[in-house]
Amino acid sequence: MRRLLMSALMLQFVGCSSDSEPNPIPTNAAALASYSKTGATLLVTRMTNFEAVIPFLLNPGSAGAGGLTFIPAGAPNTYTFGAPIDGDGNGSTETTVAGTAAFNGDPAAAAPGFAGHIDLTLTTAGGLGNFAGEMDFVRTAVGREATGSGTFVEGVTGNMTTLTVPAGSPLLLKPADGTPNAVANICGYSLQGDAQFEIAGPQGTLASVWQFRSNKAAVAVTGATYTDNSGKSTDLPDTQLTFPCAGTGTLSDWAGVFVQNWACLPVEYGQARHTYTVTGNTLHIADEDPPNSGDIATYTATPVAGNPYEVRGFFIGGPAGNTYREDFTWKLSPNGNLISQVSHYVYQEGPNTGSGGMCGGRATRQ
């Protein structure tokens, strides 16, 4: 039960394609579009699962920090980091994320105005492929603004997907909380802004601009052009897409008892026992924090548009006179045994009204 950090920034380094391709288009263009949708789903899963562990990097005493590194690199507020993660949720840590980060202040505080530059790589065993990118970001009162570029090279086909968000035209990333200006358009996130995508395969290149709007679930794909290896270009019609996210089961697969480790920024960490029951389209949570304390909060969550393995909700916590609202997104692993969490909280009253923080969490079925 708790909060989130800048790793949602990393969600921007992905791409997918429309569910309805223009017709007719070159066969190789259709193949690249189909590939990009599949590749994006794989990469987004890994990046969101990485996001859930990032707050643990700055809470080294927490139960969820095992195997993670976040080491000062000499200059003030500059670090190297490394994290083995279970990107596909099958119980093994097959993916490694590593890189360097330089911030404008103490990352353990990460208040609005907190900013920095990150270089990172993501390597996956078994031939899925590798990702390398860099970004600049700043935390605002409502989310994170980010610019940068990254490329994912898929191991089997060699296809390369590159995303660029130019300096001066940042993407705004914020949690999707169901309000009119925070609608989910990439899984549990609401993005506002434009991104340039290029997918290069053996036969040619497909380039387009994706327009994310925080009040719309669909993403507009404009200016798409396919260029084959002979230099012949074909313009494709504008279209829309919805982003594929979580698993293919049902909401009832959540039912059971999980023990959750959570960590937050500003620095804070703990453990909770969650008991889940399901009625209709609603997940009911009994949250005992810490386990065996008898201190149980109850609240609910609902699926993110068509994704029964990804839910979102909120709860009100804290003592009277100093309460906070925490909006969260949880993702259930394909095997149903692991849950990753990212969340954001804002104080509703008291001396900290309007300020807040961010958290991540990992929960295991008992």
- C-alpha–C-alpha distance, residues 197 and 182, integer Å: 23
The CA angle 279-282-287, to the nearest 5 degrees, is 95
Task: Give the Cα separation of 71 and 283 in Å (integer).
Answer: 39
CA distance 103 to 118: 9
Q: Find the helix or strand (DSSP H, E) in which 134 lies.
A: strand 129-139
Domain 251-365: CATH class, spelled out: mainly beta
The continuous run of DSSP H or E covering 199 comes out as strand 189-200
Q: Could you tell me which residue, 257 or 39, shows the higher pLDDT? A: 257
pLDDT per residue as tens digits for the range 180-198: 898 888 877 889 999 998 9
Determine which of 45-59, 102-116, 121-135, 330-344 has the lowest per-residue pLDDT on average. 45-59
Alpha carbon 299 to chain centroid, angstroms = 23
pLDDT in tens, 293-304: 999 999 999 988
Domain ranges of the chain: 6-241, 251-365
Q: Most confidently modeled of 36-40, 175-179, 281-285, 354-358? A: 281-285
